[in-house]
Structure 1
Amino acid sequence: MIRVFSRPIPLILALAFCTFIPVMLAAVRVVQIPLGAVPEDSLRLTSVPTAYFLHAVAGSLFGFLGPLQFVRALRRHFGTLHRLTGRIFVLAGVGLALSGLALLLQVESIATGLLDAARGVFGLVLIAALTLGVVAARAHATLRHRAWMIRAYAVGMGQGTVALILFPVYLINGEPPTGLSTDIAVVGTWLLAIAMGEWVVRRLASFNRRSPSAP
């Protein structure tokens, strides 16, 4: 099963499926915010337009580039492109975290303290994971670098994976679900995504110990 995570097509499809909705919504916001066409349920975020726009742009780039960064063929045959997109990925991740923290601090929340606390903690964790990934890359510690980038992607996109459940509810009801039960689902799904990322990291480490020549 671990070989799935080392092959380009299955890996891209798996990650793209889990993050398609949040990446798509972020890309739509990139267009809507400058046009002043933000949906009513998100209007409160326009009180901090710069942070909101940066959050949308960074989320789009981070979510789109993440799956590509983990493709072995890209690393092997297009090393320069991998490094260039990797730098953009890291900058997008930092921008995503900082803009998210800015929105958390400056916009009146409609979520419970549970979700707000999770957003704050995971925003800081995302910055830490990206920093450790960059440090590992500069030390040419490839496996450690890859592990921290997988963790960073799991943290950065973890909240968005719950959209697979909540977005259909939003389409049916016409408004986003809120309340403690919803926030528990969001945090739980977020933690599950992080746990899955850590599982992949550990399985890859085990696979590389058995096959030291694997790239």
Structure 2
Amino acid sequence: MTESSRRSPAEWMVPAGLLVLSVIPILGGAMRVSELSTGAVITEENARFFHSPVPVLVHIVGSTVYLVLGALQFAPALRRRRWHRISGRIVLPMGLASALSALWMTVFYVIPPPAGPALAVMRLVVGVAMTAALITAFLAIRRGDVGTHRAWMIRAYAIGMGAGTQVLTVAPYAIITGRAPDTGMHAVLMGAGWAINLVIAEIAIRRGASRPRPAAANPPVGASAVRPIR
């Protein structure tokens, strides 16, 4: 068995984990679309979506595509193929659609408790940060700076995946305490989801930067073509 074939299953652990983490927010988005399309009963919690459905639909579609294709961008087998570049041309605009629609909803929707002013500020900050990260990544790859592009796309994906991690920060609190968090604690737990993702992203970026790059397949002119005797 070759080294590449032994490594193949491990290469899919990260994208598989990200896909699993994105299942709950994707299912939540699908349920919201179903609710809007079937004319569910309007309540205080969902009234804003019925009164202005376009932003949330843009957010759901953009986020779903971004989370799924973005997770697959972490698979080395796909990064070594043309698929990575083609998919990236979809991932980036979908990420912008997700971030900008989130900003719009934060500013213009009336969001009921437990969301409060602190969470609204955090959503504005991370929405602007995700937008800036995607634009920075795009400008970097346009000038051929792959390292900078990679770093900022990882940061943007970490922010976008916040909804997945926030399930793991909010749900345990409700289970342990037997009650939903109040406005302040809700903001803390939601912020913790983004913070955890960004810490992991920075670790991944630094590990990737310190990892030696594979040698070029074709050596430059004048380079030695002598191979070691095996």
SS of equivalent residue, structure 2 residue 80: helix
Identify the residue that residue 224 of structure 2 maps to in structure 1. none
Structural mapping, 1:1-215, within 5 Å: 7-37=10-40, 40=43, 41-77=45-81, 79=82, 81-110=83-112, 111-166=115-170, 178-207=182-211, 211-213=212-214
Deviation at 1:91, TM superposition (A): 0.8
Q: For residues 176 and 45 of structure 1, do their structure 2 counterparts lie closer, same or farther at Cα, with a shift above 3 Å needed?
A: farther
The number of residues matched between the two structures is 205
Deviation at 1:170, TM superposition (A): 7.8
SS of equivalent residue, structure 2 residue 137: helix
Q: For residues 31 and 168 of structure 1, do their structure 2 counterparts lie closer, same or farther at Cα, with a shift above 3 Å needed?
A: farther
Deviation at 1:121, TM superposition (A): 0.8
- The amino acid across from 2:35 in the alignment is Q
Runs (4 or more) in structure 1 with deviation over 4 Å come to: 167-171, 175-178
Deviation at 1:184, TM superposition (A): 0.8
Partners of 2:180 and 2:47 in 1: how far apart?
13
8 Å contact kept, 1:59–1:96: yes
- The amino acid across from 1:156 in the alignment is G
The TM-score, its normalising length taken from structure 2, stands at 0.78
8 Å contact kept, 1:162–1:185: yes
The TM-score, its normalising length taken from structure 1, stands at 0.83
Deviation at 1:37, TM superposition (A): 3.5
Partners of 2:170 and 2:42 in 1: how far apart?
17
Q: For residues 85 and 34 of structure 1, do their structure 2 counterparts lie closer, same or farther at Cα, with a shift above 3 Å needed?
A: farther
8 Å contact kept, 1:33–1:53: no
- The amino acid across from 1:17 in the alignment is V
Identical counterparts, % of pairs: 33
- The amino acid across from 2:116 in the alignment is T
Partners of 1:8 and 1:117 in 2: how far apart?
37
- The answer to which structure has the higher helix fraction is 1
Deviation at 1:104, TM superposition (A): 1.0
Q: Whose Rg is larger? A: 2
8 Å contact kept, 1:24–1:60: no
8 Å contact kept, 2:169–2:189: no
Deviation at 1:160, TM superposition (A): 3.2
Q: Any stretches of 5+ residues in structure 2 without a counterpart?
A: 1-6, 217-230
Partners of 1:30 and 1:170 in 2: how far apart?
26
Q: For residues 167 and 84 of structure 1, do their structure 2 counterparts lie closer, same or farther at Cα, with a shift above 3 Å needed?
A: farther
Deviation at 1:53, TM superposition (A): 0.8
Deviation at 1:126, TM superposition (A): 0.6
Deviation at 1:178, TM superposition (A): 4.8
